[in-house]
Amino acid sequence: MDVAIDGIRYHVEVCGEGAPPLVLLHGFTGDASTWKPFYDTFGEHATLIAPDIIGHGKTESHEDLSRYQIESVAHDLEGILDELGVNEVDLLGYSMGGRLAITFALLFPNRVRKLILESASPGLATEEERELRRFKDAELAQFIIEHGIKSFVEYWEEIPLFSSMKRLPASINDSIRSQRLSNTTIGLANSLLGMGTGSQPSWWGQIDQLACEVLLLTGGEDKKFCGIAEGMLKALKKSVWIVVENSGHTIHVEEREKFGTIVSDFLSKKI
């Protein structure tokens, strides 16, 4: 279905049945189809709400960079929930979607019951780190505009963060590549510029305000995000951290069955 939020046409997939609903937020270059393998499992117990985040998938890739700021996107998500008549939700976010999930939970704490963060970060701690990241993201955004989606996806597949995905069957990687190629140059470029880790606020000083239960998920081979999760665990009031062995950054792809079981158990209070 499509939902108009402040002039932006968002594509949102809704399925399953049950309350509270589970909102699923994909990562950079992804879309709602990221979560399709889990629709049957998660949809047995909850209504699933999976939006294509602005600049991705079938959602409009607006030219106004301000609409990609992470706080603006969090307000758009609030608007989507309002349009659907939904109040309290469980929220699952992967990578970029995890940063959006943290932002939403801090801005609208009364609307989040449980928070699940897969390979996610509250942002970069210092302004120096953020400035360097903004510079690198601007370079990459310009690369996308100048060379196009195909060249960018070929580059993106080779970054060290996704090296563990090379072990997966070719059919899985081919499917992910096809989905990534369906994005637009302006959508991905503006997402980097507006919602990149360097552009968003650092939430490290605020995450201790989160009162909801939080599940942190990292892959055992993703050392960078294991370190981030360790720091978050110390700051959060009610949190559990689970490391999934034999996995890198994309746990939901690399260890799909384990991921589905862990998330289901957390939502049903078995963890």
Q: Determine the structural domain holding residue 25 and report its residue range.
A: 2-267
Report yes or no: 190 and 68 within 8 Å, Cβ to Cβ. yes
Alpha-carbon gap, residue 59 to 173, rounded angstroms: 23
Angle at 39 between CA 36 and CA 43, to 5 degrees: 165
- Written as one letter, the residue type at 240 is V
CATH at 81: 3.40.50.1820
Number of domains into which the chain is organized: 1
Run of H or E residues at 116 = strand 112-118
pLDDT, residue 271, reads: 77
pLDDT, residue 270, reads: 78
Of the candidates 210, 50, 32, which has an alpha carbon nearest to the alpha carbon of residue 122? 210
- Sign of dihedral through CA atoms 46, 52, 58, 64? positive
Report yes or no: 58 and 52 within 8 Å, Cβ to Cβ. yes
The ranges of the chain with pLDDT < 70 are none
Report yes or no: 69 and 99 within 8 Å, Cβ to Cβ. no
Sequence-distant (≥ 6) Cβ neighbours of residue 47 within 8 angstroms: 14, 15, 16, 17, 18, 19, 21, 22, 86
Alpha-carbon gap, residue 120 to 249, rounded angstroms: 9
pLDDT, residue 194, reads: 95
Alpha-carbon gap, residue 188 to 33, rounded angstroms: 17
Q: Are strands 2-5 and 89-94 parallel, antiparallel or unpaired?
A: unpaired
Alpha-carbon gap, residue 122 to 202, rounded angstroms: 6
pLDDT, residue 188, reads: 97
pLDDT, residue 269, reads: 85
Report yes or no: 208 and 45 within 8 Å, Cβ to Cβ. no
Report yes or no: 94 and 26 within 8 Å, Cβ to Cβ. yes
Report yes or no: 15 and 38 within 8 Å, Cβ to Cβ. no
Run of H or E residues at 135 = helix 127-156
Give pLDDT tens digits for 204-215: 999 999 999 999
Give pLDDT tens digits for 111-157: 999 999 999 999 999 999 999 999 999 999 999 999 999 999 999 99
Phi, psi (5° rounding) for residue 205? -80, -5
For residue 15, the number of C-alpha atoms closer than 13 Å in the C-beta half-sphere is: 15
Alpha-carbon gap, residue 251 to 221, rounded angstroms: 10
Of the candidates 239, 231, 240, which has an alpha carbon nearest to the alpha carbon of residue 210? 239
pLDDT, residue 235, reads: 95
